[in-house]
Structure 1
Amino acid sequence: MTLSDLAARAAGEIRDAVAAIDPAALQGMVEELAQARRIVCYGVGREGLMMRALAMRLYHMGLDAHVVGDMSCPPVGPGDLLVVSAGPGGFSTVEGLIGVARKAGARVACVTAQPQGPAPRAADRVFLIPAQTMANDQGAAATSVLPMGSLFEGAQYLAFELLILSLRDHLGVTPEAMRARHTNLE
């Protein structure tokens, strides 16, 4: 398979995963984010990188957005939203943070490919991205040309950008306002 063939297959897989997202679930996430007083994002590994990218875009939208583990991350409480990523359905750190957030009165949204996992079952809102993760990357279940959980992570990136476009429209934020919040320290 040529590089061009691999790229086309990988891009098609990401496109198909994002196209399979329930529009009502995307709209539910838009509303959840728009209503939150403060938003804190968390994920492990490469999913964590996608959650950091989402937090950055939420900040560009003018929302009070943070990443768990950053020194400037505030506590969560009533009116706040913890957005976690658990592609395979659960991670011990994600489940622990869900417990802390819920005890503090915050709502929880979980981005996942495995909605029956412990993390999405403990969340108030589930945002399902139907894509291969490390929960199903071996044997007959493995269908992606991409390794391990890369399909889910790539689909997260695209889904989050589309989520931001919908949120931008919902909140009436202009592209110019987003750009004005971009750092000048690069």
Structure 2
Amino acid sequence: MGDAARIALYGVGREGLQIKGLAMRLFHLGLKASVVGDMTTPPVGKGDLLIVSAGPGSFSTVLGLMGEAKAAGAKTMVVTAQPNGEAAGRADYVLTIPAQTMADDRGARTSVLPMGSLFEGAQYVLFEVIVLKLKERLAISPETMRANHTNLE
């Protein structure tokens, strides 16, 4: 992630909320990160990375965006609970979170949390650890991160 020229991120529903949180923290680290669908998201191409979330393994929007990014020369990364899913099969990089999603919340329960809550919560923790590791690897100070935080709140 830290080597990408630009990083575009996308997720649907509550997974999308976690992806937006990651985009914000990547921006705080000084990386050129944006959320797909925002009016200010630049095009992606060679040297860029598209990070998508597809907990259940696939969403039509995710697959479409991955196709566009790859056609433009960008690399793709999928965050999923289904490493053998369609999105993972098309991705350059796969981050697997072995947690219940809405696709497998019926029958024998693996979590007391409803639908995809376990996966979404695990995303939050994973993303915070990723940010911590990137912060260390890129030698970014807390002061630098704070300087990149908005003052329009």
Normalised to the residue count of structure 2, the TM-score between the two structures is 0.99
Cα distance, 1:35 vs structure 2: 1.0
Cα distance, 1:183 vs structure 2: 0.5
Hey, what's the Cα distance between the residues in 1 that align with 2:2 and 2:87?
22
More RCO (CA 8 Å, sep 6+)? 1
Indicate whether 1:103 and 2:71 are aligned: yes
Of 168, 175, 179, which aligns to 2:135? Answer: 168
Hey, what's the Cα distance between the residues in 1 that align with 2:56 and 2:147?
36
CA RMSD of aligned residues (A): 0.5
> What SS does structure 2 have at the residue aligned with 1:74?
coil
Aligned ranges 1:8-157 → 2 under 5 Å: 33-140=1-108, 142-157=109-124
Could you tell me which residue of structure 2 aligns to residue 16 of structure 1?
none
> What SS does structure 2 have at the residue aligned with 1:41?
strand
Q: Which amino acid aligns with 1:139?
A: G
The structure richer in helix per residue is 1
Q: State the aligned residue count.
A: 153
Gaps of 5+ in 1: 1-32
Residue identity (%): 65
Hey, what's the Cα distance between the residues in 1 that align with 2:96 and 2:137?
21
Normalised to the residue count of structure 1, the TM-score between the two structures is 0.81
Cα distance, 1:136 vs structure 2: 1.0
Hey, what's the Cα distance between the residues in 2 that align with 1:131 and 1:143?
8
* Bigger Rg, structure 1 or 2: 1
